[in-house]
Structure 1
Amino acid sequence: MTLLQRLRIALDSLLLLLAIVGLWWLASHQGWVSRAFLPTPETTWNTLVRGLSQGDLLAYTGGTVQRMLVGWLLASLIGIALGALIGISQTIRPWLQPTLEFIRPLPASAIMPLAIAIFGLSDTMILFVVAFGSMWPVLLATIHGFASVEPRLREVATALQLGRLQFILKIGLPSALPDILAGMRLSMTVALIIAIVGEMLSSQAGLGQAVLLAARAFRAGELFAGILLLGVVGLVANLLLAKVEKHFLRWMQPQR
């Protein structure tokens, strides 16, 4: 993609964003929707700046990001380790496939009552649910990546008499890395969503609790400021992971 094409895409994205903000401004100022439910963009921006500089919004953001990252890292480590062990074994994989397909569709919110019963309304409960819910994209992507290793590479590993751990580190992991990184990017989004829901249910200090309390008190400015901040957190996390993915997969990009 040329520089001119990138600039055109960036310009189109900016114009779309400005159009959405303009429609928001028009709807709020013309009274199409009550300001009790739809604040003006100016009110939202002023509330956001004031909350970050003088209020607790920055601390709430830090708490949410911390829960999201810790849960995501746990999910990634467990998902990659289990996925590698399952993916390289043609014996274990058929046995575990039905169990995985049974557990995978379970929404993380469905196990929150169980997690609350075990851990109580605590940070540990949120981390457990975040790790459980965000583990599946990484686990399934890792299994697929290791199961799709080129058969000739397996023959090479056998000829070189590589052990299972050596095969995973030297052949399996590099081959499965594109699938793993894609799963980790999806997992990050899931981790953020579950962290927000967990904070709402457990009343732990974070953006989830801040948004819920603002909605209950009809403080539309604070509600939209929190939602805007959540969008920024998700966007920044995705951009950073995209940079990491591009760095580790630079060997796959065509040479100019």
Structure 2
Amino acid sequence: MNTPAHMLKRALQWVEPVLVLLACLALWWFASHGEWVSRVFMPTPEATWDSLRSGFSANPGADSADLRVASWQTFVRMLLGWGLASLIGVALGALIGMSPVARDWIAPTLEFLRPLPASAVLPLAISIFGLSPGMVLFVVSFGAMWPVLLATVQGLANVEPRLREVAAALQMSRTAFAWKIGLPATLPDILAGMRLSMTVSLIVAVVGEMIASQPGLGQAILLAARSFRASELFAGIVLLGALGFVSNAVLATLEHRLLRWQRP
């Protein structure tokens, strides 16, 4: 119900984060203009904004990265890796989570592989795929798969016992139980794992671009850092933050709509 108190509460939910963001921008402005840190390493907000405008202009300068193209390349790489990771994570998680025997046998292996950072797999991926886009996609998928996989396994393992009793009374097959009861009941866990997976895929995509010299925001940031172009470096960081924020917001909105049945 849209009462004045409810509307005021919703407005404050937006105002407070905006005030925190403005405070951070003000601190950045004072730190850069007061030269608390050398401008070689910390540009002003105005210089960063100019680099953003130049990078998104139709004809960026010879020394400026085309941030439109770089942002799109990173976004596509992140999205492909996340999609592949989600597909594999849900499929493997369903196979493992539906079988207590499989969980008992495979759980130690999962616990061994799960803590491995994706960057540790880069040398192996490079030896297999070389410095190619396929290598980066493999590493992104590997790093982003674990939140979805583990969330699916955990969700299916903790399905309400009464639902299993109903499925047994109806003589449902294991596949039918997974499609009609197990996965829908596990959907909140899966969606939470997919949101975390999206963040991981962005991080690993950027690291892969830096190490494998693949075009994207990661490479643009690395080249700016090596050339001491601090404003372009900060512009790339701002774009990465914006990309992560928008991606998470879209997934949060989809999650909110898909889980409407949970709300009273």
Q: Which SS does the other structure have where 2:27 is aligned?
A: helix
User: Per-residue deviation at 1:6?
Assistant: 1.9
Matched residue pairs, number? 254
Q: Which amino acid aligns with 2:98?
A: I
CA distance, structure 2, for counterparts of residue 6 and residue 22 of structure 1: 25
User: Per-residue deviation at 1:14?
Assistant: 1.1
Q: 1:102 aligns with which of 97, 102, 112?
A: 112
Q: List per-residue Cα deviations over 1:148-195 (Å, max 9, x = no partner).
A: 111111111112121222111100011000000000000000000000
User: Per-residue deviation at 1:22?
Assistant: 0.8
Percent of residue pairs identical: 64
**Contiguous gaps of at least 5 residues in structure 1:** none
- The residue aligned with 2:170 is 160
Matched, 1:136 2:150: no
1:20-39 alignment, distance < 5 Å:
20-39=24-43
- The residue aligned with 1:233 is 243
1:1-256 alignment, distance < 5 Å:
2-53=6-57, 54-55=59-60, 56-254=66-264
**Contiguous gaps of at least 5 residues in structure 2:** 61-65
The alignment's C-alpha RMSD in Å is: 1.0
CA distance, structure 2, for counterparts of residue 114 and residue 176 of structure 1: 33
CA distance, structure 1, for counterparts of residue 117 and residue 141 of structure 2: 12
CA distance, structure 2, for counterparts of residue 153 and residue 13 of structure 1: 41
Q: Which amino acid aligns with 1:166?
A: A
Normalising by structure 2, we get a TM-score of 0.94
CA distance, structure 2, for counterparts of residue 246 and residue 142 of structure 1: 19
User: Per-residue deviation at 1:9?
Assistant: 2.2
CA distance, structure 2, for counterparts of residue 34 and residue 19 of structure 1: 21
CA distance, structure 2, for counterparts of residue 216 and residue 95 of structure 1: 48
CA distance, structure 1, for counterparts of residue 94 and residue 203 of structure 2: 26
- Shifted more, 50-59 versus 115-124: the winner is 50-59
User: Per-residue deviation at 1:3?
Assistant: 2.4
Q: Which amino acid aligns with 1:107?
A: P
Normalising by structure 1, we get a TM-score of 0.97
User: Per-residue deviation at 1:109?
Assistant: 0.4
Q: Which SS does the other structure have where 1:213 is aligned?
A: helix
- Shifted more, 157-166 versus 143-152: the winner is 157-166
